[in-house]
Structure 1
Amino acid sequence: MEGSSTHIEDPSILDNTGHGPLRVPGFGDIPMNYELPPEARFAHGIYEWRQAPAVTARELAMVAVMNHLTDHLDWHVDISNDEVVARWKKEAFDMTALMSDKTWDWCLKELRDKAIDFRENQHIRVLDTGSCVCKSDTPTLSSLSTLFRWAVPPVLRQQKAQQGLDWKSKQVLSIVDPWLFPLVYGKTLVLDRGRVDLHDVLGAYKHATVAPKPVDKRVSFMKLQRWVDKGQIPARGTTPNDHLETEYYRWSWNYQCLPCEVEFVKDTGTEVRITSYINNLHPAYQGLYGAIEKVISLAIKPWNDCLVQGQSDWSKDSNHGQLGPVPLRIITYGIEWENELPDWADAFNVPSTIRKRIYRRHREELQRSMEDDTKEGRKRQRKLQALEAGFCDVAGKENMEKPPPDSDLWGKAKEYLERPEDGSTSPMALPQDWQSNPWRRLQEKVERVLRWKHPEPGTAFSYEEWKSGQHHDKPIIDIVRDRPDWGPERPFYPVIPPHTPYAITLEDTFRQQGLQVLVELENIELTPDAPTYSKGRWQLPGQLNEHIVGVAVFAYDVHNITDPRIAFRQYTRLHGCYYRYHEELVAKRSVLLNCRPAHRQGKTYGLEYDAIEQILGFPPLYLSIDNYANPPYQDAGSIATPQGRLITFPNVLEHRVEPFQLVDSTVAGHYRFLKLYLVDPHYRVCSTRNVPPQQHHWWAAAVGSDLATAGLPREMIDEIVQRTDSWPMGMSEARQHRRALHNEHLWNEMTKLGRMRGPGF
């Protein structure tokens, strides 16, 4: 772990049940920046996830194809139909140039196993490359779509009336916004003991006290805010002040979003009920509460299959990072070459007579200078040593000659020079002077015929070994285990923890204490005047205060729009220390240019960079030493979210809604969905069980009803309510806090980008 977060080994000391004093982060004697050791909780993506090794472009193509095919109706049945499978094979080859027979065979085996999982669990893992996403399409979810379409409109109408906004002018409508009316340290009323009764949420004010205010340690936030105001992103390698301050931006020292409490109903299964109010959704809407409970119940098992278990020592540079639930299918740290010069070719790499003569003279002068221990003598030694370094191709070859005429090496050289070129199958004619200049002609030949190839699944280990966890993360091209080039001050000896399967069962492990969930309901509305949505931005929800580790999205109402999709990307630091393309970088920075392997000389210099970028699906020049423009992210793919689909994913993946538009441009359309954010259940955080509602309009409606029941005239009631129009918190103040909270998320994002190193370092 890094930074100054506070570690408490025993999570059982946390308590927000109301049966005793409130003991959660920021309350009692628990510091606000309290954090469990990684192995005692789930991983998050704020600073604790990097996918390593990077996913190959071919594997990304494989999971994209499998995700696409599992969108077909009854795919889990048709995968056993050979005629359908033949059509799907053609479909797969049409989708990507990276599909091959060997790749398809792997995909087919995996799809048939996924079909078994789907029939058993009613959901499957997709885009599963280390981390993963789960998707589910069931009749139950389709029925829930109808229930939501019935239950949400009354809430929207009520909010329009209460908030007084011109909703018709807004493309994105937040029906239930978890970032509105958050816990405000130093402002919000909190119960130190007792609970907020779900059926009498306004009865707890008299026992509440103001939440304590921690000391904000982010002294450079104004600098970050200027970047926010200008829409700028700090260059990587910079920080708001120094690396010690970066830690503090991962936490909000002013706010925490308030989850609701969810408890399991029975001794087994995933059925749940909500036992504290959903922030910004009045408990009077029992139909909607019930529908949300059903979605939470259905999200639990998919969360089990996608959450990332924390791992100790993840942050050490000698380790890869956290390990996701799914091992990679293709692992490589280098390049497989075709037509590479064989080792025997070095027998023709004979230095010229002139270079041999110059090298011998330098060696003799260097030996004589060793006898002179004066300042001038030592200066002469250093100069001669530098000159000698330029002749590393001669060292050890002073007496080397071409192979004798009867050597079989000449036949091998002839065969190599005659290899077909440019896709031809006919042998090439030999250059006339090839015997007098064999090394030069071999170099020219390799520049024309050298090719790299995308690695294939099933090369280092079989599908059966991968499926059974017996593959041992074996790479096709092994990792660089020792990197002396980096000098004694930066030794690099990577330790790669084996990928060990693990099982997560939220419903068993946390049955007694229950779960905490943030709820969001959002509409994206398109009209003929605004027919396109293109405002989706990459998100990693929450800050460490919220401890969000899982997300679920349920699309319950999709009408007259093109295929809505959610895209994913993940931090993928391609540590050049152990990837073999970095050898070329080391050679480039060295004066020993003539010591590079033959296939990397001349025109092919730079081919290694280009090859590894394409093998791993990165754009050209992505791994350049001077490239600080591209953040070290790798796109993981996107998933369609048609009406009635539920997807879940760990909060280590950044996500965004992809652009979409109206199908019929003359008619309005919409994309309406429920979003759930799972708080790491290894923790307890302050929730709506502990905070009486802050919404003034809730309180005003209840007070008005009580006063009317008591017989007070309407004029007097209105006057009483108006005199307290900001208690506990008015809508205007809540929006100000929401904007400030959003800015803090941007500060966190900027410090994260500022501390990231380039893609290859």
Structure 2
Amino acid sequence: MNHPHPIDCIESPFSFPPPFENGTDASLFVPGFGGLPVKLELHLEDRFTRATLGWAQDLPTTTRELAMLTLMDKITDRPNWFKEVLDEKAIPKLREKALGQKLISTKAWEWCLLELQDKARVFPEDKRTLVYNTGAGICKSDTIVDEGTRTLLKESIAVFMDSTLAAHDQRRHPAQPMNTIVDPMMYPLIYGKSLYLDGGAVHVADLFGFISKAKVAPEPRSENEWNRKQSDRAGWSLNHQRLPCEAEFTGDTGTEVRVTSYINGIHPGFETLYGAIEKLISHSIKPWNDVLIKDQRRGRTPARVKMYGVSCEPETPCWRKYTDAGKKPGTAEYYTAIQEAKAYCDLPDWDASIESYGTKSSSMYKTTDDIEGWLEKGNCLGFLMWEQHDRLVHPVHPEPSDAYSYQQWKTGLVSEEICKENLTRSNCQYKCPDLDPSFNHEFYNVNLQDTFRNKGLQIIVKIVNVKLTPENPDFRGTHWHIEGSKNDHIVANSLYVFDSTNATASGISFRQENDIYLDDHCDVKDDDEALEDVLTVFAITDKEHIVPGYPCEAPALQELGSVGLPEGRLIAWPNMLHHHLHGVELIDKDKAGCLSYVVLSLVDPYYRICSTRNVVPQDRRWWAEEAIIAAIPPGMIVPREIVDHINSFTGDWQLNPTEAEEVKERMTEDYERHRDLLMNWPANRYSFSHSDYNMFDVPPFLDMRYADGRSKVERGRV
């Protein structure tokens, strides 16, 4: 089957999924090859979602629900949590501790307990649990990967690291704590340079057997500078693509796989390491099933706390009543108003840090006993009440079960209002949009092992070692990012910690993109305090940016929480969630330590992309290794000069470690540029219009100075 040169580089969804092909029986027909554009997107319903214009939460998750999610994550970190939540003797202690946490009310705890009990009943068989599952979710397990596999992985990676074929990142940057031992950005597909097979396959047992039939990978059709910049901004690369390996399912059922093409960065001679990675892929499939998102709008899980709007308490006193009464000394009305004002002003202030009433702060008078004297000086009683109300007023965080019960929620019946007397749209001070009253959530299952059994999966492998020494005792963590670029079509990841020695506890944080325009969702126009209340209830933190008239609204992002990374834990998450790894440091400062983990990235199986089945290995050392094995008797020591001489016969399509590092640096520059654009300019932003301000001027209230002399503009991330 002959295909023309790549037709274009225009991102345009096909009316139906094209018949992708990267097998042995036909010409290569994948993005960038066989006439297909590099920038190829399937329709949303024909693929899994990922970052960059993929999926966003309809509304941000409420602060109350985030507190509930954090609580459930922490409880499921306990060794015997699945027994404790079903044990009537252990539950009271869990309840007491939970109710001491911010925003965990009695209703919130009762909901969490029911949900934890349902999780506990299936945990012994599943060996995994979902956390932070609001729309999207993260799957974690400390037992799904057995100790034998962990030991096998650790030992085989140690052997690999000691070999001459390991990545040179660890040797070139000895002072850098994070060393990527197997790096998918080393020896990637390079358009216009890499050699590929247009039909046929690169066999693990004969890496260079078909090299005479290999062709140079086509370059995307040249674009003008403007189009190239647009591609760059959209997250596409016209230069590189990561190369996944092929993983085929074995047998007729189950999740066991066999890697049938070389893993980029690991020579097939490391058979034990290949076997350990195969086991890790197999263990990742069911967690991926739990987190992959196909529905582009509603995600996998409905909200636990349904948001009708934001109301505040206590009620506003009648300013005119107290102002008028304060002007009538000696009357019964005057003394009644003073007594009411005393009682009101003695109430403790609202402490937003603990979401409760705290201590009494100072006011414009010393004690409530001197209110009468204060009024005799011509002051206004109404203003006094206003000042105290300002200290007390706070938004009310909605509760779970205000709209529907836990039993209704877990079956998707989330359009009912079963507690109208508790929370209805009519008593909300600031309104949320009208929602479809017939809306119910439809749960769905994903089964990679069934749907793609004949096709197999494409997996990108990365192995990282964070090495800590007395000279370099700490690692600061990573930036917010997603895995890969658009070319890689990564839809899910799993991370497995196989070694954590003499290092403090690490973790990984996640955040999601929201789909919200504040003017549509909340009737708070021209009301900065109302906006502040909405942001508080929705746990939106970039308040300095979300202000009327500010020319660059904050990215519509919301941090969900963090998951711990102890040794032996596997976590999986959809690639539409941004993530960053926490820093670690040595526990014993006089000894070395490490945090070592494997990241497996799943290429969307509704696509096929160019893989190591198609691209001839580009590591020049592999070529020399194969040539020596073929020409020299086993056990014979080969002088370095002969190896260099053999290497001299290779073409410029192969790379030595130094050249590979240079390619990686260029690819990293592209990736970091894409990452920064995505992190700072996602598809949505927190928009809020205000006609009173010129959009190119700093609003006056932003220029107010704090006690340290800095303004909000100077203190905020503007």
Question: Shorter-chain-normalised TM-score: which range?
Answer: 0.7 to 0.9
- Counterpart of 1:623 in structure 2 is 546
Q: For 1:651-690, what aligned pairs fall within 5 Å after superposition? A: 651-690=575-614
Q: For 1:95-494, what aligned pairs fall within 5 Å after superposition? A: 96-138=101-143, 140-159=145-164, 163=168, 165=171, 168-215=174-221, 217=223, 219=225, 245=230, 249-311=234-296, 322-332=297-307, 334-341=309-316, 420-423=344-347, 447=390, 450-472=393-415
The one-letter amino acid of 1:742's match is T
Per mean C-alpha deviation after superposition, the further-off stretch among 695-704 and 213-222 is 213-222
Q: Distance in 1 between matches of 2:603 and 2:104?
A: 39
Pairwise CA distance, 1:757: 5.5
- Counterpart of 1:318 in structure 2 is none
The one-letter amino acid of 1:147's match is L
The one-letter amino acid of 1:176's match is V
Match of 2:572 among 637, 648, 653: 648
Q: Distance in 2 between matches of 1:516 and 1:686?
A: 10
The one-letter amino acid of 1:101's match is T
Indicate conservation of the 8 Å contact 1:149/1:556, yes or no: yes
The one-letter amino acid of 2:608's match is R
Across the two proteins, how many residue pairs are aligned to each other? 633
Q: Distance in 2 between matches of 1:144 and 1:623?
A: 48
Q: Distance in 2 between matches of 1:88 and 1:302?
A: 27
Q: Distance in 2 between matches of 1:567 and 1:634?
A: 11
Q: Distance in 2 between matches of 1:647 and 1:201?
A: 33
- Counterpart of 1:614 in structure 2 is 536
Per mean C-alpha deviation after superposition, the further-off stretch among 528-537 and 3-12 is 3-12
The one-letter amino acid of 1:455's match is P
The two structures have a TM-score, normalised by structure 2, of 0.80
Indicate conservation of the 8 Å contact 1:274/1:293, yes or no: yes
Query: Does 2:14 correspond to 1:8?
Result: yes
Match of 1:735 among 638, 661, 665: 661
Match of 1:636 among 550, 556, 560: 560
Indicate conservation of the 8 Å contact 1:123/1:135, yes or no: yes
For residues 262-287 of structure 1, give each alpha carbon's deviation from its aligned partner in whole angstroms, at most 9, with x where no partner exists: 11101111111111110111111111
For residues 366-397 of structure 1, give each alpha carbon's deviation from its aligned partner in whole angstroms, at most 9, with x where no partner exists: xxxxxxxxxxxxxxxxxxxxxxxxxxxxxxxx
SS of the residue corresponding to residue 454 of structure 2 reads coil
Q: Distance in 1 between matches of 2:139 and 2:73?
A: 10
Q: Distance in 2 between matches of 1:415 and 1:464?
A: 48
Q: Distance in 2 between matches of 1:44 and 1:480?
A: 38
For residues 384-414 of structure 1, give each alpha carbon's deviation from its aligned partner in whole angstroms, at most 9, with x where no partner exists: xxxxxxxxxxxxxxxxxxxxxxxxxxxxx99
Indicate conservation of the 8 Å contact 1:102/1:457, yes or no: yes
Pairwise CA distance, 1:185: 0.6
Indicate conservation of the 8 Å contact 1:336/1:477, yes or no: no
- Counterpart of 1:552 in structure 2 is 494
SS of the residue corresponding to residue 632 of structure 2 reads helix
Indicate conservation of the 8 Å contact 2:10/2:37, yes or no: no
SS of the residue corresponding to residue 208 of structure 2 reads helix
Indicate conservation of the 8 Å contact 1:159/1:175, yes or no: no
Structural RMSD (CA): 3.7
Q: Distance in 2 between matches of 1:167 and 1:587?
A: 54
Cα gap change, 1:447/1:567 in structure 2, threshold over 3 Å: closer, same or farther?
closer
- Counterpart of 2:40 in structure 1 is 34
Pairwise CA distance, 1:219: 2.3
Q: Which has the higher helix share?
A: 1
Pairwise CA distance, 1:133: 0.2
Q: Distance in 1 between matches of 2:319 and 2:500?
A: 65
- Counterpart of 1:701 in structure 2 is 625
Cα gap change, 1:557/1:248 in structure 2, threshold over 3 Å: closer, same or farther?
same
Unaligned runs of 5+ in 1: 223-239, 312-321, 350-412, 485-491, 589-605
The two structures have a TM-score, normalised by structure 1, of 0.76
Pairwise CA distance, 1:640: 0.8
Indicate conservation of the 8 Å contact 1:348/1:438, yes or no: no
For residues 186-242 of structure 1, give each alpha carbon's deviation from its aligned partner in whole angstroms, at most 9, with x where no partner exists: 1110100101111111212111100110035472599xxxxxxxxxxxxxxxxx6xx
- Counterpart of 1:19 in structure 2 is 25
Q: Distance in 2 between matches of 1:309 and 1:139?
A: 25
SS of the residue corresponding to residue 163 of structure 2 reads helix
Per mean C-alpha deviation after superposition, the further-off stretch among 635-644 and 708-717 is 708-717
Q: Distance in 1 between matches of 2:416 and 2:141?
A: 29
Q: Distance in 2 between matches of 1:417 and 1:184?
A: 75
The one-letter amino acid of 2:526's match is A
Q: Distance in 2 between matches of 1:159 and 1:577?
A: 60
Q: For 1:39-78, what aligned pairs fall within 5 Å after superposition? A: 39-78=45-84
Q: Distance in 1 between matches of 2:489 and 2:656?
A: 27
Q: Distance in 2 between matches of 1:531 and 1:218?
A: 48
SS of the residue corresponding to residue 292 of structure 1 reads helix
Indicate conservation of the 8 Å contact 1:473/1:499, yes or no: no
Q: Distance in 1 between matches of 2:248 and 2:125?
A: 25
Q: Distance in 2 between matches of 1:4 and 1:754?
A: 21
- Counterpart of 1:759 in structure 2 is 686
Pairwise CA distance, 1:296: 0.8
Q: Which has the larger radius of gyration?
A: 1
The one-letter amino acid of 1:327's match is P
Indicate conservation of the 8 Å contact 2:67/2:103, yes or no: yes
Q: Distance in 2 between matches of 1:441 and 1:553?
A: 57
Q: Distance in 2 between matches of 1:512 and 1:131?
A: 28
Pairwise CA distance, 1:93: 3.3
Pairwise CA distance, 1:327: 1.2
Indicate conservation of the 8 Å contact 1:480/1:579, yes or no: no
Cα gap change, 1:64/1:335 in structure 2, threshold over 3 Å: closer, same or farther?
same
SS of the residue corresponding to residue 202 of structure 1 reads coil
Indicate conservation of the 8 Å contact 2:477/2:584, yes or no: no
For residues 272-326 of structure 1, give each alpha carbon's deviation from its aligned partner in whole angstroms, at most 9, with x where no partner exists: 1111110111111111111111111111111111111143xxxxxxxxxx32211
Query: Does 2:516 correspond to 1:587?
Result: no
**Displaced runs of 4 or more, over 6 A:** 345-349, 413-419, 428-433, 437-445, 492-497, 710-713
For residues 37-63 of structure 1, give each alpha carbon's deviation from its aligned partner in whole angstroms, at most 9, with x where no partner exists: 001111111232322210111111111
The one-letter amino acid of 1:624's match is V
Indicate conservation of the 8 Å contact 1:145/1:643, yes or no: no
Q: Distance in 1 between matches of 2:315 and 2:195?
A: 71
The one-letter amino acid of 2:536's match is Q
The one-letter amino acid of 2:539's match is G
SS of the residue corresponding to residue 270 of structure 1 reads coil
For residues 603-625 of structure 1, give each alpha carbon's deviation from its aligned partner in whole angstroms, at most 9, with x where no partner exists: xxx43233222222233545323
SS of the residue corresponding to residue 577 of structure 1 reads helix
Cα gap change, 1:462/1:414 in structure 2, threshold over 3 Å: closer, same or farther?
farther
Pairwise CA distance, 1:134: 0.0
Pairwise CA distance, 1:75: 1.1
- Counterpart of 2:696 in structure 1 is none
Indicate conservation of the 8 Å contact 1:331/1:473, yes or no: no
The one-letter amino acid of 1:614's match is T
Cα gap change, 1:639/1:477 in structure 2, threshold over 3 Å: closer, same or farther?
farther
Indicate conservation of the 8 Å contact 1:704/1:721, yes or no: no
Match of 2:670 among 722, 737, 744: 744
- Counterpart of 2:465 in structure 1 is 523
How many percent of aligned residue pairs carry the same amino acid? Answer: 33
